[in-house]
Amino acid sequence: MSQAFKLPDLGEGIHEGEVVSVMVSAGDRVSEGQPILEVETDKASVQIPSPYTGVVKETRVKPGDIVKVGHVMIVFGDGKEVAVESTDGTTKAADTTHESKATPKRGDGPVPASPATRKLARELGIELRLVTPSGPAGLVTAEDVRAFAQEVARSSQAPPAEAPSASSLEVRANGTSDALAPSATPIATPAVPPLPDFGRWGSVERVPLRSVRRATAAHMALAWSQVPHVNHQDLVDITRLEQFRKRQAPAVEARDGKLTLTVFVLKAAVAALKAYPRFNSSLDMERQEIVQKQYYHLGVAVDSERGLIVPVIRDVDRKSILELSLELKQTAERTRSGQLALEEMQGGTFTITNIGALGGTGFAPIVNYPEVAILGMGRARWQPVVLGDQDQYEIVPRLMMPLVLAFDHRVLDGADAARFTRAIVQALENPDDLWLSI
C-alpha cells in the first residue's frame, strides 16, 4: 500500500517553501525520522524527516520547485505493491495512493482556509465562499484570495459618482459631513498592469524570485501597504561609548564574543521601550486594540548571501552586555550559514538594523510588520561639533552616528518618536547611566 507524503505545516503563516535538496531516490529504503528533504521557507532552511518506514516509490519534486503546504512530494510504498499491466504491455506497481482531486462542495460549515488567508480576505473585503479553492481538499489559499480580488477589480464597473448637493454637505455634530463620510461601496483596487516586453529593447535575463528574496518581497509589500510610515532622524555622540567599547572588546573576544555598537543600542533601546511602551506593541485593527507586549524580544537585521534575515534576540532586558555580545555573534554566524531555526525569527517586538559598516549617510528602513517601529543605525563619522553656548564655546572633533526611527503613524506620533529617540541618544551619550539601567 502506498503512502503520500505532503509538505507539512511548518509554522504559523507559512504556506509554501522552496525545495533545496531531495535526499532520497525511488527505490531507496528509509526509516521513520530519517531526513529526506530540505525545504527553505520564510527565510529558514528546514530538514524534513520521513514519517514512514518503507521504500521510496516516487519523488514528485526536485530542487528549485516551489511547493505549498499539502503538496505531495514523495510517495512511499511497503515493497508489496501488486504489479499491473499497462496498455503498452509493460508492468508497473499499482498506485494505491488516494488523493482528492475534486473540490468538495461547500456547505454551511466553515470554509477551509488558514488564519492568515482569512485575515487577508477580511482586509480585501472578500467572501471566502465565493473563492474557488486550489489547495488540497478544497483549501482556499492566499493566492486564491488575491486572484479573486484582482478579478473583482477588473470586472467592476462603478458608475460615476454624483456631485454632492448642498444639503449633503451639512456638517454633523461630530464635525464630519456626508461629503467626507466613508462610501458605502468600497473602492476597487486597480489591477496591476502587465509588464512590457523588455526584450524589445535588448537582451534580458530572467532570474527566479525564490527563497529569501521571495519571502522578503512579500513581507515588505505587506508592511508597506499596511503601515503608514513616518521617519524621525537624530544624531548621537558616541565618542565616550566608542572609547569604552575599544577598551573592553579584547576581553569579550577572548570569550568568543564580539562587542559591537549594536549590542549597546540593544540595551539602550530596551530602556527606551520600557519608558515608552507603545513602541513595543502591535496594532490589532480587527479588534481595534493596541497590543502592548510585556516582553522585549528584539530583532537584529543580518546581511547574508541569501538576503536580509532578521533573527530575534529574546529577553534583551534580562541579559548583560557580555551575554548579548556572545549571543549576537553566534546568532549572526548561524544566520549567515543558513542554520537558523524558524522559531528564532518569530516573536519580535522591535527591530534594529545597522548599515554603518556598508557606508552611506542615512537611510529609511521599513517597519517589520506587525511591529510598529524600527531603528536604523548609520555610519559613525568624526565631525566638528560646537560645545558650550553662544557666550563660551569650542569646536571639537566628536564621533557622531546618525539614527533614524521609522514608525507606524496609526499608533505613534512625531512627538512620541522624538522623545523615544532622545531617550536612546541620552543613554548612548552617557554610558554611566546606561550601566545603571542594565
Residue type, 304: S
- CA dist 420 and 428 (Å) reads 13
Query: Which among 8, 12, 95 has a CA at the least distance from the CA of 51?
Result: 8
Q: How far apart are CA 409 and CA 104, in angstroms?
A: 44
β partners of residue 304: 307
Give the distance from CA 197 to its chain's centroid: 31
Known catalytic residue at 409: yes
Strand order across the beta sheet in which 29-30 lies? 3-6, 72-77, 54-59, 29-30
Residue written as grid cell 560646537: 386
Cα gap 83→400, rounded to integer Å? 76
Other beta carbons less than 10 A from residue 360's beta carbon:
10
Report in angstroms the alpha-carbon separations of 412 from 23, 283, 362, 405: 49, 11, 22, 12
Angle between helices 414-429 and 239-254 in degrees, nearest 10:
60
Question: Around 168, how many Cα atoms within 13 Å sit in the side-chain half-sphere?
Answer: 8
Burial of 419 (0-12, 13-18, 19+ CB in 10 A): middle
Question: DSSP secondary structure string, 116-181?
Answer: HHHHHHHHHT--GGGSPP-SGGGPBPHHHHHHHHHHHHHH--PPPPPPPPTGGGPBPTTS-BGGGS
Taking a C-beta distance cutoff of 8 angstroms, is the pair 334, 44 a contact? Answer: no
Query: Which residues are catalytic, by number?
Result: 409
